[in-house]
A = this chain, B = another copy of it.
Amino acid sequence: MPESPPHVVIVGAGFGGLACAGGLGHTPVRVTVIDRQNHHLFVPLLYQVATAALSPADIAQPIRRMLGRYPNIEVRMADVVGVDTAARRVGLADGGAVPFDRLVLATGSSYGYFGHDEWAEHAPGVKTVEDARFIRARLLTAFEQAEACDDPERQKALMTTVVVGGGPTGVEMAGAVAELTRHALARDFRRIDPRAATVLLVEAGPRLLTTFPEELSDYAYAKLRDLGVEVRLNQAVEDVREDGVRIAGRFIPAGTMVWGAGVKASPAGRWIGVETDRVGRIPVNPDLSVKGMEGVVYALGDTALTMGGDGRPLPGLAQVAKQQGQHLGRALRANLSEGAPMPPFHFKDRGNTAIIGRSAAVFDFGRYRLRGWFAWILWAIVHVYLLAGFEKRLLVAMQWLWRYATYQRGARLITNPTHGHVERAASPLGEAPQGAQGSEPRRRAAG
């Protein structure tokens, strides 16, 4: 009787998990990919869904279709609630359990609210399709309400959008909202002038895009100001309510609030009972195995605390997760089929980019830096290329071209109940919430 093949379970079908699964495709290894969603999401473009430029389906692909060509890979849509490392089993919310020989944790991260998880309801991050749809509905509804309203104070409040966090997500979001109000919405109202809308970008630190060189931060600041965004540096958010935020002691009424600050890893660290760093990341060895669980449990992407060549933690970027997934997939394939040792992971920096708006982006390649129109074109090419699947690439590229020519937005749909932000966190499988994780907000496993 032949031995049954080793079974690798990958939790999370984000950039890291998918890359790892791909590396194990067409091998004698049995692989199961578990995700709470049925689709892989291209999260870096999600802010474009939130600002009505793209549809969710433009940046999402069914995980089954992406891995369908590998007969040795099974996909399971389920919520993971815990891991029994001794018995080597992953526990699911539906009561099921998936046994494993090797476990890869690629469950991504969410935003941290500095101990104020109740703020999430009013100022959601941009991590899931539901988040993006909620923000889109809230933003567009606020302008509808302003149009129907006679009180100038309330109109101004409804037409105010506050974006928290001056990292790439915050900068992209603030720029996109400003362009939406200045162009796509500009001529469609009779009583309000959307061009007069306020977009506030709040950053607690002294500059925007702190992971970029200072000259690119300055460029982003200047470009956002040109777009009409009010940038507030060195100011922390002190409170978030349904109707606005308190910043530097002053309450600012707002119709829409978006959160892009702080980072919190998924609860994977608690599943396996290891000590994590301050933001929940699992410390791993150079081969990405979890310390103390060598040869059995691995973690990558935003879930893992990986040290770079300079001794500092690697940043939470899609390219880090993707490279780690590719590395781990190859390493596990060689290890499981030939008994090869697990080599250490080395990050190759492909450059870092952020987009501010039409014709304005920044690129940091270490020695080279780019900004402006050419950086924007490069940004667009890179993102269209990275979008998985030919059909999507072409469609997204066409929509970008169209919008560039017309300033229009194709996905101005209000469909989510604005007050549905809490209910929408319910599982699509109708299962009980992740009780084991306590008050952890339920989030998509995305690398």
Residues of A that sit less than 8 Å from B by CB:
37-39, 55-58, 60, 62, 64-65, 68, 74-78, 94, 96, 129-130, 133, 137, 140-141, 144-145, 147-148, 187-190, 391-392, 394-395, 398-399, 402, 406, 408, 410-420, 423-424, 426-430
Q: Which residue of B lies closest to A427 (CB)?
A: B417
Interface centre among A55, A57, A402, A418 (most CB of B within 10 A): A57
B188 pairs with A38, CB closer than 8 A = no
Complex: A290 Cα to B420 Cα, angstroms: 39
Given contacts A57-B410, A424-B420, A429-B141, contact A68 B402 (CB under 8 A): no
A37 pairs with B430, CB closer than 8 A = no
Complex: A1 Cα to B261 Cα, angstroms: 57
Residues of B within 8 A of A402 (CB): 391
Complex: A424 Cα to B96 Cα, angstroms: 29
Residues of B within 8 A of A74 (CB): 190
A429 pairs with B78, CB closer than 8 A = no
B424 pairs with A428, CB closer than 8 A = no
Number of copies of this chain in the oligomer?
2
A38 pairs with B140, CB closer than 8 A = yes
A416 pairs with B399, CB closer than 8 A = no
Given contacts A148-B96, A391-B399, contact A418 B411 (CB under 8 A): no
State the Cβ distance, A422 to closest chain B Cβ, in Å: 10
A417 pairs with B424, CB closer than 8 A = yes
B429 pairs with A145, CB closer than 8 A = yes
B410 pairs with A392, CB closer than 8 A = yes
A426 pairs with B430, CB closer than 8 A = no
A411 pairs with B57, CB closer than 8 A = yes
Given contacts A137-B428, A413-B129, contact A395 B399 (CB under 8 A): yes
B391 pairs with A418, CB closer than 8 A = no
Complex: A188 Cα to B413 Cα, angstroms: 31
Complex: A399 Cα to B57 Cα, angstroms: 12
State the Cβ distance, A100 to closest chain B Cβ, in Å: 16
Given contacts A190-B74, A399-B391, A423-B417, contact A412 B39 (CB under 8 A): yes
Residues of B within 8 A of A55 (CB): 55-58, 411
Complex: A415 Cα to B430 Cα, angstroms: 12
Complex: A205 Cα to B145 Cα, angstroms: 46
B38 pairs with A413, CB closer than 8 A = yes
Residues of B within 8 A of A60 (CB): 413
State the Cβ distance, A428 to closest chain B Cβ, in Å: 5
State the Cβ distance, A140 to closest chain B Cβ, in Å: 6
Residues of B within 8 A of A415 (CB): 56, 129-130, 133, 428
Q: Which residue of B lies closest to A185 (CB)?
A: B64
Residues of B within 8 A of A394 (CB): 398
A78 pairs with B424, CB closer than 8 A = no
Q: Which residue of B lies closest to A391 (CB)?
A: B402
Q: Which of B78, B398, B412, B417 contacts A38 (CB 8 A)?
A: B412
Residues of B within 8 A of A418 (CB): 428-430
